[in-house]
Chains A and B, each alone.
Chain A
Amino acid sequence: MFTVQSPALVTDGVRREVLVPQAAVRFPEMAEIDQAIRERRLVVAPLREDEQEAAGEIARGIPGLGLGERESMAVAASRGLPFVLHDRRASRIGRAMGQEVVGPLDLLFERTVDDGLLEHRLRAFARLVDMRIEALEVLLERVKERSRW
């Protein structure tokens, strides 16, 4: 179980990575992210000096992470917050560093009450990330198991 802070924070690096004007047509959900920032449901948090240094250290120590991920890890570590990461490689690294990382599957299972809706969301997610059908079946089995609970 994890605690969700409201409003959620994003770093400027994340904002720059995800809000790419040219990609708006291909990825219409960008408009929702933009909207969330304008409505302050998502707040762009500037990095403090110590967090910038920490992000730099992460970059040197772990070359496999993008800018937004490095910044988020630094902020999450210094402020003691869980952070949401889509990328599974980055998630593994974050967890290996002892941080509380919340992935999309964690979010879907933990925060979708209705089993039918959860199944629908899992199928949509599977399409989005090119999940193997066998992997999706494993997840749908978990939904059935949950509904028997």
Chain B
Amino acid sequence: MVTMERPQVNIRLERELLQELDEMAEAESLDRAELARRLLREGLKRERVRHALGRYREGEVSAARAAEVARISLYEMLDRIHETGIPYELDAGDLQRIDAMINGGRPHAAVGEGRARYDAGQRAGAAPPSDVDSGIEQLRAQFRPKPVRWLFVGESSPSGGTHFYRANSNLFRATQEAFVAALGSDVPSGPAFLHFFRDRGCWLVDLASEPVKRLAKEARGAAVGAVRNRLARLIGETDPERIIVVKVSIASDVGAASRVAGFKGEILELPFPVRQWKSEYVRRLEDAVRREAVGP
């Protein structure tokens, strides 16, 4: 058995304080010394926390060090910091670094959004990244519905780094607008619309697996032509009720791929929603959504 050494300490107390201590000891069936030790232990613990919080507030110590000083876990200390209402202040350094990032360009990789790389391929003369390299392929797979009811087919990913599945492209905004027009304001905006779109069995794929806008005309034609078979396989695999072509100029390629796949459903050809064609895209897609009440 380990016996704790207890050196004797004499302290002078006010008569009232001593009387209060005795009354409490009697109420708790403790002797005066035991109660005094307990109160001292508890008081010291509180004092350590208070002291540590003070040092944290003054910026002298980190939360982790404050926890060590207070002899409590980091999580308890974070709780105490929260209870005490010590706010998180921005400092000039935070903002300088954020401004440098903004002025330096778009973010180049995503957390929890696949491994998107925005800057790749956007430097002068650089080849545009494929959808696999840019992370689009992962995003597309993430938002693939089961089953696919409406298969939207575009030409290729935009070359500027935006994309429907990044919820920041012209096509994304126009499509969301058409669904709102057809189904009302309950249709979510921003990235939440991607989930809504998926849950209604809608999926967007591209004919080409890399941006073709910046390619030379011949290379562009070859890039699109070479992937007809890929689209045919995809149509066969997903067996959609309807195909929506998002760009009139690729309708013949999509038509050819759908024939190879033995697709018998309806193909709706829409213009790509930029400039004067946006309103037509929205109106015709709205009509289709309204008619078909596309949904689970």
Contacts and interface: CB of A to CB of B under 8 A. Distances in A.
Contact of B101 (A1, A63, A93, A95): A1
26 contacts: A17-B64, A17-B67, A17-B74, A20-B74, A26-B79, A64-B60, A65-B61, A65-B65, A87-B63, A89-B63, A92-B91, A106-B98, A109-B98, A110-B107, A110-B108, A112-B113, A113-B113, A117-B167, A126-B88, A130-B81, A130-B87, A130-B88, A131-B87, A132-B89, A142-B98, A142-B99
- 8 nearest interchain CB pairs? A66-B64, A116-B190, A23-B75, A129-B88, A90-B62, A87-B62, A64-B61, A113-B110
Given A111-B107, A149-B105, A18 B74 contact: yes
Interface in A100-149: 103, 105-117, 126, 129-132, 135, 138-139, 142, 145-146, 149
Given A113-B116, A115-B168, A132-B88, A87 B93 contact: no
B64 A69 contact: yes
A66 B75 CA distance: 13
Contact of A1 (B60, B108, B111): B108
B278 to A, nearest CB: 19
B52 to A, nearest CB: 11
Interface in B88-115: 88-91, 93-95, 97-99, 101-102, 104-111, 113
A64 B69 CA distance: 10
A68 interface: yes
Given A1-B108, A64-B60, A115-B168, 7 more contacts: A1-B104, A17-B74, A20-B74, A26-B79, A66-B63, A66-B66, A117-B113
The interface residues of chain A, by DSSP majority, are classed as helix
Nearest to B110: A113
B64 A68 contact: yes
B102 A26 contact: no
A42 to B, nearest CB: 15
B61 A89 contact: yes
Contacts of B93: 92, 95
A103 B89 CA distance: 13
B265 interface: no
Interface in A7-66: 17-18, 20, 22-23, 26-27, 63-66
Interface residues of A, number: 49
Contact of B64 (A87, A105, A130): A87
A41 B65 CA distance: 26
A88 interface: yes
B43 interface: no
A92 to B, nearest CB: 7
Given A1-B104, A110-B107, A142-B102, A117 B64 contact: no
B32 interface: no
Contacts of A129: 88
B88 A63 contact: no
